[in-house]
Amino acid sequence: MVLNKVMIPGNDAVVSISISEGKIKQVSPSHTDDHEQLTFVNAIAFPGLINSHDHLDFNLFPQLGNKTYESYTEWGKHIHRVYAGEIASVLKIPIALRERWGVYKNLLCGVTTVVNHGEKATINDPLITIFDNCQSIHSVRFEKNWKKRLNNPLKINKPAVIHIGEGTNDIAHTEIDELIKWNILKRKLIGIHGVAMDPQQAKHFEALVWCPESNYFLLNKTAAIDELKSKTTILFGTDSTLTGHWDIWHHIRLARKTQMLNDDELYSSLTSSPAQTWELNSGSITSGFDADIVIAKAKGKVGLQAFYNITPNDILLVMHKGVILLFDESLYHQLTGIITQNYSKVFTGNHFKYVMGDIPGLIAEIKGYKPDAGFPIPYPALPAA
């Protein structure tokens, strides 16, 4: 297959991307003759986004919290007291259904890899990559046996991923030192949040996953990424809808407003940096890499200016390892005879998208357990075509 006439950030020239056997075969100035090709007009292509922190089974929650907290421990205790009924109503939905919706939440935004925190996902054949070649440890305060788990010699070759320093008080800061001290086996540490982290502490971490929207919602403060980025690798995450908007582009634009990362650094935190950290063969539109590719409307802009202007409504195509998972209705006639899988027709913003799988059926199953469950796409009725 050839994806014809697209722009890539950092290369304002219009190129064509040839794909074969799930890999990017060639990126060239002009297209190669191929009976399977899609031609775009004023479109930008970029690697499928890598969301380095989410809880797939927690994306049917609304944002829970009604004040500014000093730490994740204060927030956790508060929501279980104040929102016990809402929490119970979501948790009664089978975890497999909640995880499947978590995958779609990411896919609709152009995420092709998500690092799921917690127990191994139950989905047998996920549409996108659910990365789990790591050890998830919840936190220093909420996980009773975290020291034993951290120093398990059978896990020494896997990175340990842990919520850390998620607060603005002294306890949030000192727990980072406690984690560093007890990393006896010198495991690769990947921290999540790090709001209370200082540059000296950051040096002990392989990477830090920045989740600014979650941080501002809970703590009205985020990590000092502009100070930490020279000491560790910065990755980007959304966390779940418990503390953030369902749309990763909403998070990205908030991060950009802070100016803690420049445009190139923020782009890298979603693509090449996590690919290197998690040892993935993706994160770049380069020959030999997995064909995890998103194409979106450029809307008259070029390069990263076009990238940071994207919404889910603008996404024209999402491809994962060469398989088209989502496409805009404007591509339907070009794809006739090319695609054979089953797709759902859903409405985002003001456009129809075709998405692999049965989203309406999934929503109906979920609503069977929780009739008031909310979704960012209309259900059951769709606007007229």
Render pLDDT for 208-235 as a digit per residue (tens, 0 to 9): 999 999 999 999 999 999 999 999 999 9
Do 65 and 26 meet the contact criterion of CB atoms below 8 Å apart?
no
**Mean of pLDDT over the chain:** 94
Render pLDDT for 250-302 as a digit per residue (tens, 0 to 9): 999 999 999 999 999 999 999 999 999 999 999 999 999 999 999 999 998 88
pLDDT score of 340: 72
pLDDT score of 368: 97
d(CA 72, CA 18): 46
pLDDT score of 41: 93
Output the six-digit token pair for 200: 């000296």
pLDDT score of 385: 46
d(CA 55, CA 114): 9
How many Cβ atoms sit within 10 Å of the Cβ of residue 340?
Answer: 5
pLDDT score of 381: 54
pLDDT at 383 over 60: no
pLDDT at 33 over 50: yes
d(CA 215, CA 157): 30
Instruction: Please identify which residue in the block is written with the tokens 């896997």.
Output: 158
d(CA 242, CA 245): 9
pLDDT at 185 over 80: yes
Residue 189, phi-psi category: left (phi > 0), alpha (psi -120 to 50), beta (remainder): beta
Q: Which residues of 147-180 are buried (b: 16+ CB within 10 A; e: fewer)?
A: bebbeeeebeeebbbbbbbbbbeebbbebbeebe
pTM: 0.96
Question: Helices 72-82 and 84-91 meet at what angle, rounded to 10?
Answer: 90
Per-position DSSP letters for 34-66, written without gaps between them: -SSEEE-SSEEEEEPEEEEEE-GGGTTSPP--S
